[in-house]
Structure 1
Amino acid sequence: MVFPPRKFTTILDVARFTSRLIDAAMDHKEILDKRALPIERATSREPGQPLCMAQYYRILGASRLPGRKRDSQYVTPTPQKGDKPPDSEHIIVICRSQLYCVPVRAADRGRLTEDEICSQILYILDDAPCLSNIPPVGLLTGWKRSLWAEAREDLMKDDKNKRTLELITKSLLVVCLDEALPSTFNCRLQRGVCGKGHTAGIRDETNLFHQMLHGGGIGLNSANRWFDKTIQLIISGDGACGLCYEHSNAEGVAVIQLVEKLWNHADSLDQNSEVPASSHLPPPEKLEWVLEPSDRQRIEDAGQVLENLIKDLDFQVFRFTGYGKEFIKSCKVSPDVYIQLALQLAYYRLYGKLTATYESASTRRFRLGRVDCIRSATPEALAWVQAMSQPKEDDEMGNKKVTFHLVSDEKKHLLWNEAVIAQTQEMVDNILGLGIDIHLLGLREAARETSPTAASPLPEIFLDPSYRLANKFLLSTSQVATTTDSFMGYGPVEPDGYGASYNPKKESIIFCLSAFWSSEVTSTSRFAQSLEESLNIMQSLLTRPPT
């Protein structure tokens, strides 16, 4: 997630802004400890239904743990009502690959003030550049999970490493104090497609996003991460700031609400340029590692794998400025439904067919509900995109050339309305618990667990080629709306697929498009161009007077 860049003129500005984020996180944690978050309720489609709040309590203090066969989760136990809140809490700060443990609450002195946190951050910003040969252990968290699990098991054999790993796992969150990426990083975009373009000395939004997602590589900030941690707040010395979050504990909506709350708190306060008063607190603890030659080799191998993945990522932020949700609403269509159909049209214009499409649908109306899958590639969508993609025909009448469409506007409007109705119904069915994917997943896993032997075949439905094809999501999409001018994105889920998150604004739509350079069939530049053309011809259709 990328936030609007800050203006930092001194190292104190970096420390002060960071300390305000941490202080706001502590305010939020106190609300969680009291279990005082207000219950959210559905605002449409049977409005008033209470929504499950469990995800909100699994964000701070959570971490993903690698396993050889299956990963697990660590979640700090949330006090029940009436319980005493925890006596001590800490965060991890990473700067130039060096990890520091910063207590933010202690049994003997209570919670640190913003000034005290600021002093701790200033110490780290001053201390880390003086260190050399820091082992980039964080790279292991970007490795293949089974290999990282094996490496972690070996690290845990040493007591010092074990303590370090436990401190990281149990921390409230991780703060990454980064160096800026070069403005030329990943400049393989076609001219005119990227929202702001590349200008010497100025970092564009695509460049900023790469820093938040993966850090830029082993020579930049990728070792300045701990990718297992649910929340990593990222603040760069040049003012770039954002979030990298591990998805298994919570959906984007819950995380966005928390992080925007932190940023709004930090933004709402006047710039404080005063150096914090001398603190009686001891400096933050540098976390150390005891590494064998085999550990160092694993770190090197992990770094190379991550480096190759980063080089292969074809990503761009595309801001469509032709119109936004105000125009879409004037067409009496949900912005989400409209944009989903635009994605279908863009894909069809490129490939002459539709593909299994994933869109997340919140199922928080149910206890512990996460998401189900809105399948946007409906028969009605296919009929509409085919009509929209019919070529024009020309006819010579004397010296005058007449151009006409094979499908009339009236027919396109009719097919459009049918596609909108089908997409809307698909969305409503999913949020009300009538989707198919989570039910089928549960049945498949139950069949595996109840099979007499591991070799027993699954029921035929799960072995059928159509089931596999239906779950090969070459288009993975999600609406990630924000109240600030920020945006969130992710990578594709298939080697030949696209990731496409979107954030509808009043007069624009922000798309985060991803694919892999190694794919011979995908290209975010071509997809962005097709998407722009699709959105324009949709507006043209819906604003032309009926004939």
Structure 2
Amino acid sequence: MAEAHAAVAFSFSITHEGWDVNFDREVLHLVWQSGVRSWKKRIARLLNNLHNGIYPGHYSYLCLIIGVVSAMHLYGQRVPLNLPPKILSLCPSQTLYWQLGACTITSLSYWLSAVYFLRYSLKMLFMYKGWMYESQVKGSKPSLATRIWAVFVSIIEGWNTPKLYSYQSSLPRLPLPSLHDTMTRYLRSVRPLLDDKSYTKMVKLADEFENGIGKKLQRYIILKSWWSTNYVSDWWEEYVYLRGRYPLMINSNFYGIDAIMLHPTSNQAARAASIINSLLRFRRLLDRQELDPILIQGMVPLCSWQYERIFNTTRVPGDEADKIIHISDSNHIAVYHKGRYFKVIIHHKGRILRPAEIQMQIEQILKDTSEPQEGEEKLAALTAGLRRHWAKVRQSYFSKGVNRLSLDAIERAAFVVVLDDFPYEFDMEDPSKLDNYGKVLLHGKGYDRWFDKSFTLCIGNNGRLGFNAEHSWGDAAVMSHLWEWVITEESYEPRSDAPIIAHCLEYILLEESENIRFDHRGNALGNPEFTPPPPNRLNWDIPKSCQCAIEESLHIANILINDIDLRIYVHDNYGKGFMKSCNLSPDAYIQMALQLAYFRDAGKFCLTYEAAMTRMFREGRTETVRPCSQESVAWVKGMEDKSNSIEEKIKLLKIACANHQRAYKDAMCGKGIDRHIFCLYVVSKYLEVDSPFIKEVMSEPWRLSTSQTPHGQTKKLDLKKHPKCISAGGGFGPVADDGYGVSYIIAGEDLLFFHISNKKSCPTTDCHRFAKKIEQALADMRQLYVDFKN
């Protein structure tokens, strides 16, 4: 218990000789530093909130208005609305100070009026989505309305430089579709999946719903859309994620992989230190709101709300529902290695520890030969099992004492780091190595990932890495942005806080090898300025009954692990360059390939899910695109019909891709189907109303669940200069027991990655077989255009 004694900063005791006070100056100094840092962040956060509160206005314009109004009033000129004399009439005197005060109040009212006028004007402009539907063909000109819109947006945005959250109050609310429009779109989406009899039945159910209980349910959602920021997001977070009692591992959490074309060092401690430092630098950008907001077409912002919970966040289990706990600051990370947990301090005198300093801490953990305490090694299995079971165990064994302190150290950490004692391997000649790489990140051993944490950074003993992320706090696009920034920053962006000599060395190394983070021995560049605080081993008191509960969760986790299969298919025959040369959207092209592959694999079509973001609206998350449409079915059948000409097949493909692209844009613009029906379902449950239509819709399985991992979200990434600096994307488990989970990333002009998962217990699905179907579908689609040109 030496660590526990060292943590006591102050003690007070009374003896027969009097009273005695002892204190540890070093610990009190750490407490003082933490407090100062916390107050600095609070002040910075307050200033940022003031900046965002007046965006797109600026304080300098207020000073200018005060000067103009004061000059006009003092020289006898009448200012607009003649406010200074009216204010002075309420003052006790007419001295110069009172006159200047009246002019200041007048100027403030003018300025605030202008600020709110600009803000609401910007919100109205952002409601216009016509630019999304206009042709993106090279050389085509936007419409007159879009050009006028762009001019006004540019003028208003030019008044001030935005911070990360500056646009939040200017983003419009997610529009609520009419009940009739949703019913019409839904029936059209399921038509290719139903025979005539089933479709007639569904039309009848939809008509009864629309003209019956649906009207009442819609009125409640209309009311919610008026007073809530986003009529979907809070219910989506609660009912889809937090109320789920199933295990998070595989079923909900997702993973991301390293830039596998690069391997800057095989030194595990050095690579961990470099990435940890980069993650902390990204967190500092978030805290200071210095990260640039993402702008579509350089003008339309995406909602940045989800970024607030990337760090210092954990999902806490509950009996009926979990809750997300986010703290404003954390000065440590939690590290797991060979069954032991450590608390590692990451700040010193107001700055982030440098990579060389963090490497020293990681090396101390790697060299530690102590054994795990009883129950400690497999403790995280509780986060991989059933949520209700974890909630009961947490309440019984981790609500007080040393267990509570240690659990707090993990849950209140900035993030969790796992140092694995085996390598993460990639070999183009042996695909199984990359498959195992993905499995390690998706589920590990079932007890070596803290699945409740917003994300867990995982590092193999050969220096390769990845992450496992919890899903309720945010979507994959946000983690993808973080990961892209970190990988890019580590690969070729010099650190601004490094010493000048180190900068020179970094640039020299960049010219020679592009490895600007590690020396020739694989260690992090730079010398430590001081000896950093040693890692603090966490202590646990886990009785036998709790260990049995841990084993119970691990049993559930092992069942899931043994049932999941994963194939990561690397397609390097061609990429988006060829797809664009065919004048087709790369995403639509790949979705059509997936439809063709699934039909060849299963002999039928299925309800297909593709995630589209709705972050052009405030607190937007995702909407569903349904790629299996009448047009895509017509194309697939046309491809399989040998009597069809090449020209006819290409024509059908273009029609299918155009339809898919429009459906994707509809989903992004709030014209989707599934989130609206989901909210209708929630209201029906609140009112305890049964609807045969909603019951039918909600019971439909998504046998093909797909998602594209976005990239190019940071301005740092330049694949033309650094083509190897790209993550291989990430993946997730299948949504349906008899379905596939497919995540893909368009990694470059000639490179695609597909992460395909399925359950081994299902006799009709096989991710390895499906990968070959995708490969063949992509080859056949390319051959269409090759034959057409010849």
Normalising by structure 1, we get a TM-score of: 0.84
Q: Please list, as runs of the form range in 1=range in 2, the aligned pairs for 1:280-299 lying within 5 A after superposition.
A: 280-299=531-550
Q: Please list, as runs of the form range in 1=range in 2, the aligned pairs for 1:443-482 lying within 5 A after superposition.
A: 443-449=680-686, 451=687, 456-463=688-695, 465-469=696-700, 472-482=701-711
1:7–1:238 Cα contact (<8 Å) kept: no
2 CA distance for matches of 1:537 and 1:68? Answer: 51
Q: CA deviation at 1:419?
A: 0.9
Q: Please list, as runs of the form range in 1=range in 2, the aligned pairs for 1:265-414 lying within 5 A after superposition.
A: 265-268=489-492, 269-272=516-519, 273=523, 279-390=530-641, 405-414=642-651
Q: CA deviation at 1:39?
A: 2.2
Is residue 2:491 matched to residue 1:259?
no
Q: CA deviation at 1:104?
A: 1.4
| Deviation sequence 1:140-181 (CA, Å, 0-9, x none) | 111122222222121223322122222212111111110116
- Other-structure match for 1:120: 361
1 CA distance for matches of 2:788 and 2:529? Answer: 71
Unaligned runs of 5+ in 1: 78-85, 185-193, 391-404
Q: CA deviation at 1:517?
A: 0.8
Q: Which amino acid aligns with 2:618?
A: R
Is residue 2:646 matched to residue 1:417?
no
Q: Secondary structure at the match of 2:422?
A: coil
- Other-structure match for 1:394: none
Q: Secondary structure at the match of 1:384?
A: helix
Q: CA deviation at 1:292?
A: 2.2
Q: CA deviation at 1:21?
A: 1.6
Q: Which amino acid aligns with 1:462?
A: I
2 CA distance for matches of 1:518 and 1:283? Answer: 47
Q: Which amino acid aligns with 2:776?
A: E
- Other-structure match for 2:156: none
1 CA distance for matches of 2:743 and 2:633? Answer: 21
Q: Secondary structure at the match of 1:499?
A: strand
| Deviation sequence 1:62-112 (CA, Å, 0-9, x none) | 1112222222111223xxxxxxxx5x5111111112111112136x66543
Note closer, same or farther for the CA distance 1:444–1:385 as it changes in structure 2 (3 Å cut): same
Q: CA deviation at 1:542?
A: 2.5
Q: Secondary structure at the match of 1:179?
A: coil
- Other-structure match for 1:492: 734
- Other-structure match for 2:751: 508
- Other-structure match for 1:241: 465
| Deviation sequence 1:308-331 (CA, Å, 0-9, x none) | 211211111111222111100000
Is residue 2:325 matched to residue 1:68?
no
| Deviation sequence 1:341-374 (CA, Å, 0-9, x none) | 1000101112222111111101100000010001
Q: Secondary structure at the match of 2:699?
A: helix
Q: Which amino acid aligns with 1:224?
A: D
2 CA distance for matches of 1:511 and 1:277? Answer: 41
2:354–2:528 Cα contact (<8 Å) kept: no
1:253–1:480 Cα contact (<8 Å) kept: yes
Is residue 2:263 matched to residue 1:6?
yes
- Other-structure match for 1:82: none
Note closer, same or farther for the CA distance 1:313–1:195 as it changes in structure 2 (3 Å cut): farther
Normalising by structure 2, we get a TM-score of: 0.59
User: Aligned-pair RMSD on alpha carbons?
Assistant: 2.4
2 CA distance for matches of 1:440 and 1:523? Answer: 31
2:681–2:694 Cα contact (<8 Å) kept: yes
2:265–2:518 Cα contact (<8 Å) kept: no
- Other-structure match for 2:272: 18
Note closer, same or farther for the CA distance 1:143–1:276 as it changes in structure 2 (3 Å cut): farther
Q: Please list, as runs of the form range in 1=range in 2, the aligned pairs for 1:127-166 lying within 5 A after superposition.
A: 127-128=368-369, 131=372, 134-166=376-408
Unaligned runs of 5+ in 2: 1-255, 493-515, 712-724
Is residue 2:470 matched to residue 1:229?
no
Q: Which amino acid aligns with 1:42?
A: I
Note closer, same or farther for the CA distance 1:116–1:522 as it changes in structure 2 (3 Å cut): same
1:358–1:374 Cα contact (<8 Å) kept: yes
Note closer, same or farther for the CA distance 1:277–1:380 as it changes in structure 2 (3 Å cut): closer
Q: 2:290 aligns with which of 30, 36, 41?
A: 36
1:410–1:546 Cα contact (<8 Å) kept: no
| Deviation sequence 1:351-409 (CA, Å, 0-9, x none) | 2221111111011000000100011010111111111123xxxxxxxxxxxxxx33233
2 CA distance for matches of 1:503 and 1:39? Answer: 22
2 CA distance for matches of 1:195 and 1:19? Answer: 28
1 CA distance for matches of 2:751 and 2:758? Answer: 23
Q: Which has the higher strand share?
A: 1
Stretch deviating more after TM superposition (120-129 or 509-518)? 120-129
Q: CA deviation at 1:183?
A: 7.5
Q: Secondary structure at the match of 1:346?
A: helix
Q: CA deviation at 1:136?
A: 1.6
2 CA distance for matches of 1:111 and 1:481? Answer: 29
1 CA distance for matches of 2:474 and 2:399? Answer: 31
Q: CA deviation at 1:277?
A: 5.2
2 CA distance for matches of 1:135 and 1:320? Answer: 39
Note closer, same or farther for the CA distance 1:432–1:275 as it changes in structure 2 (3 Å cut): closer
- Other-structure match for 1:529: 772
Q: CA deviation at 1:137?
A: 0.5
Q: CA deviation at 1:262?
A: 2.1
| Deviation sequence 1:440-470 (CA, Å, 0-9, x none) | 1122212323x2xxxx33334212x34422x
Q: CA deviation at 1:118?
A: 2.0
1:17–1:266 Cα contact (<8 Å) kept: no
- Other-structure match for 1:437: 674
Note closer, same or farther for the CA distance 1:419–1:302 as it changes in structure 2 (3 Å cut): same
Is residue 2:430 matched to residue 1:197?
yes
Q: Secondary structure at the match of 2:539?
A: coil
| Deviation sequence 1:191-240 (CA, Å, 0-9, x none) | xxx96326xxxx7211211111111x2xxxx4321011112111111233
Q: How many residue pairs end up in the alignment?
A: 491
Larger CA Rg, structure 1 vs 2: 2
2 CA distance for matches of 1:51 and 1:205? Answer: 33
Q: Which amino acid aligns with 2:619?
A: L
Q: Which amino acid aligns with 1:271?
A: F
